[in-house]
């Protein structure tokens, strides 16, 4: 499913390059993210410069260029969280797992997202793991919570294997 899928998506919009965004949304719905090879196919078949496609993909926060991890770790970088140390939390996570905000660890354990105020400023700094809010997070507690995700996955794998 490579070029066929792109051809099909393009046909849904009668090849109208003005419908690039919905086409990219459909592509993402299919894969969970926007694979680079598929973006190249889209660029060629729709005759839209690849640079334009990447501009769109990086402008809208809803588009993803990497696959999602098994867990979603979201760090609030809103003003209050920022002032209470969120940048340092982000830094230690990125260093420890060799990732950047918006990307996924190579073992696909988790995706790190940085977002603006999540509306819980009194609890800053706030981190959300798979939809659950954690307050007063420190670099140490953030790393501990993430390492617990690794443990959970290992236990789940062992149980699946027995
Ligand atoms: S700034 Fe983080 S919750 Fe408001």
Return the CATH number at 151. Answer: 3.40.30.10
Is 44 in the same domain as 105? no
Domain that holds residue 85: 71-161
Asked, for residue 65, whether it belongs to a domain, the answer is: no
Q: Are 144 and 88 within one domain?
A: yes
Contacts of 157 (CB under 8 A, 6+ apart): none
Residue 27: pLDDT over 90: yes
Asked if residue 66 belongs to a domain, the reply is: no
Q: Which of 59, 85, 107 is the last residue of a domain?
A: 59
Distances (CA, A) of 128 to 92, 125, 136: 16, 10, 12
Per-residue confidence (pLDDT) for residue 162, from 0 to 100? 62
Q: Which residue has the higher pLDDT, 2 or 3?
A: 3
Looking up tokens 């009668």 gives 14
99 and 53 housed in the same domain = no
Domain boundary, last residue among 12, 28, 59 = 59
The answer to whether residue 76 is domain-embedded is yes
For residue 66, pLDDT over 90 is answered with no
* % of the chain with per-residue pLDDT over 70: 99
Mean pLDDT, range 54-65, rounded to an integer: 88
Q: How far apart are CA 117 and CA 60, in angstroms?
A: 17
Are 76 and 154 in the same domain?
A: yes
Using CA atoms, how far apart are residues 87 and 90, in angstroms rounded to an integer?
A: 5
Ligand 1 within 6 A of CB of 24: no
Q: Does the pLDDT value for residue 34 go beyond 90?
A: yes
Quick one: 85 and 145 in the same domain? Answer: yes
Q: Which atom of ligand 1 is nearest to the CA of 80?
A: 1
Q: Is 75 helix (H, G, I), strand (E, B) or coil?
A: strand
Q: How confident is the model at residue 5 (pLDDT cuts 50, 70, 90)?
A: very high
Structure confidence at residue 87 (pLDDT) = 97
Question: Mean of the pLDDT values across residues 112-132?
Answer: 94
Separation of CA 89 and ligand 1 centre (Å)? 14
| pLDDT confidence tier of residue 72, bands split at 50, 70 and 90 | very high
pLDDT of residue 1: 58
**Which of 42, 47, 109, 107 lies closest to 72 in space, CA to CA?**
109
Q: Is the CB of 75 under 6 A from ligand 1?
A: no
């Amino acid at each position: 499913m490579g070029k066929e899928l792109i051809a099909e998506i393009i046909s849904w919009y009668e090849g109208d390059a003005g419908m690039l965004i919905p086409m990219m949304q459909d592509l993402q719905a299919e894969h969970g993210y926007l694979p680079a090879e598929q973006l190249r196919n889209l660029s060629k078949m729709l005759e839209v410069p690849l640079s334009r496609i990447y501009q769109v993909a990086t402008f809208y926060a809803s588009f993803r260029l990497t696959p999602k991890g098994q867990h979603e770790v979201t760090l609030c970088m809103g003003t209050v969280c920022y002032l209470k140390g969120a940048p340092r939390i982000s830094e230690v996570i990125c260093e420890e797992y060799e990732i950047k905000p918006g990307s996924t660890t190579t073992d696909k354990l988790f995706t790190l997202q940085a977002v603006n105020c999540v509306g819980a400023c009194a609890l800053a700094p706030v981190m959300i793991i798979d939809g659950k809010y954690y307050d007063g997070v420190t670099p140490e507690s953030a790393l501990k919570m993430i390492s617990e995700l690794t443990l959970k996955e290992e236990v789940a794998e062992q149980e699946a294997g027995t």
